[in-house]
Amino acid sequence: MSSEPFREADTSTPAAPGLSVLVEPHGEAVVLNVAGEIDLATAPQLGESINAAMEQRPETLVVDLSQVDFLASAGMAVLIGCHQQAKGTIRFRIVATGSATFRPMELTGMTDEISIFPTRDEALTAD
């Protein structure tokens, strides 16, 4: 774990239209607040944001998708890849509810592989 404080990403101008990612430090955790649509055009931005947060080496990384309106397979692939990359070093958690985010992950079996929570507080406090 790095002794450097977590840095917030510059999210004032989204790299891809339709998606914003705000970084919020929470003690030894980092929360990425994602809003908009995650599709083939915006999934790379999501991946870059998650990877930048993982470089900070937080104990827990929470990707909060509660403000996401659409989650395509490209976005799910990014989440799976980042989860695999974090294994053993960072607790990788996702906040997802409703038909836009939780349902596609449930249908593809992601809910069996990745820790998914209904609220940010639950994701931050779970062991």
Write the pLDDT tens digit of every residue in 32-46.
999 999 999 999 999
Summarize pLDDT for 6-24 with one digit per residue, the tens: 555 444 334 567 899 999 9
pLDDT category of residue 27 using cuts at 50, 70 and 90: very high
Q: How many CB atoms lie within 10 A of CB 47?
A: 18
Q: Is residue 63 part of a domain?
A: yes
Question: In the predicted model, is pLDDT for residue 90 greater than 70?
Answer: yes
Q: Is residue 58 part of a domain?
A: yes
Question: In the predicted model, is pLDDT for residue 30 greater than 60?
Answer: yes
Q: Is residue 65 part of a domain?
A: yes
Summarize pLDDT for 112-121 with one digit per residue, the tens: 999 999 999 9
Please report, for the domain that includes residue 105, its CATH number: 3.30.750.24
Phi and psi for 84 in degrees, rounded to 5? Answer: -65, -40
Q: Is residue 120 part of a domain?
A: yes
CA atoms of 51 and 55, how far apart (whole Å) = 6
98-108 vs 73-86: helix crossing angle, rounded to 10: 70
Q: Is residue 12 part of a domain?
A: no
- How is the chain split among helix, strand and coil, in percent rounded to 5? 40, 30, 30
**What is the per-residue pLDDT for 2?**
46
Q: Is residue 68 part of a domain?
A: yes
Instruction: Provide the domain limits for residue 60.
Output: 19-125
| Segment holding 120, helix H or strand E | helix 120-125
Domain count, the chain: 1
The number of CA neighbours under 13 Å toward the Cβ of 108 is 17
Q: Is residue 11 part of a domain?
A: no
| Segment holding 68, helix H or strand E | strand 60-71
Q: Is residue 112 part of a domain?
A: yes
Alpha helices (H) in 26-72, listed in sequence order: 43-55
pLDDT category of residue 127 using cuts at 50, 70 and 90: confident
**What is the per-residue pLDDT for 13?**
36
110 three-state secondary structure: helix
